[in-house]
Amino acid sequence: MDISVYVINGLVLFAFIFLLIKDRKKTLKSLKVALSSFISLFPSFMILIIAVAALFSLLPPWFIEHYLGSGSGFMGVLSAAILGSVLFLPAIIAFPLAGSLYNAGATVMVVAAFITTLTMIGFVTFPLEAKELGKKFALLRNGFSFIAAITISIIMGVVLK
């Protein structure tokens, strides 16, 4: 088993016990929030699991390698970034998805571009952002985020070669 499992569970357990001693009532309330967010996210996880498993068994092995792997070049990064900007997916779900794409042969650049745009850019929520914070702010933030995402993915691709 991966060491990250121990690190993550250990860290959360430590934080939980620490806070439990500090404020019992508040911390127990956070368990309630945890349960309700689990219940509301569970269907998305199940759909993701089934979709990924079915898709990966149906797609020929070269498919991901060709469109998202080292053969895809800059077009692969660009399409991953655009896809990530347009999709409206809970970020928590995005990481297992990105992980399985990565294991199936997608490059570091493609994966980094996808999750960075997915989390930072909200195409669907743009009207809401413009309404709350102004059109100019929303345009600038999303525009710069796209440039940042491409830059992040290029640097990561170079460093993690």
Partner 1 sequence: MTKKKKKLIRDYLIMSGIVIVFVVFYFIFPDKGEISLRSAWQFFFELMLILPAVMIMIGILSVWTTQEMVTKYLGKESGFKGFLIGVLMGTLPAGPLYVAFPVAKALRMKGASVGNMVTYLSVYAAIKLPQILMELRFLGWKFTALRFVITVILIYVMSLFVELIFKKTEKRERVILP
Half-sphere exposure at residue 113, Cβ-oriented, CA atoms within 13 angstroms: 27
With binding defined as CB under 8 A, does residue 82 bind partner 1? Answer: no
SS3 31: helix
87 belongs to the binding site for partner 1 (CB under 8 A): no
Contact pick of 78, 79, 90, 123 for partner 1 (by CB under 8 A): 90
- Residue 128 C-beta: closest distance to partner 1, Å: 6
Contact 65, 102 (CB under 8 A): no
The stretch among 64-72, 77-85, 140-148 that binds partner 1 (CB under 8 A) is 140-148
Query: Could you tell me the CA-to-CA distances from 49 to 11, 98, 113, 157 in Å, in that order?
Result: 26, 12, 22, 27
Q: Which of residues 24-53 bind partner 1 (CB under 8 A)?
A: 26-27, 29-35, 37-47, 49-53
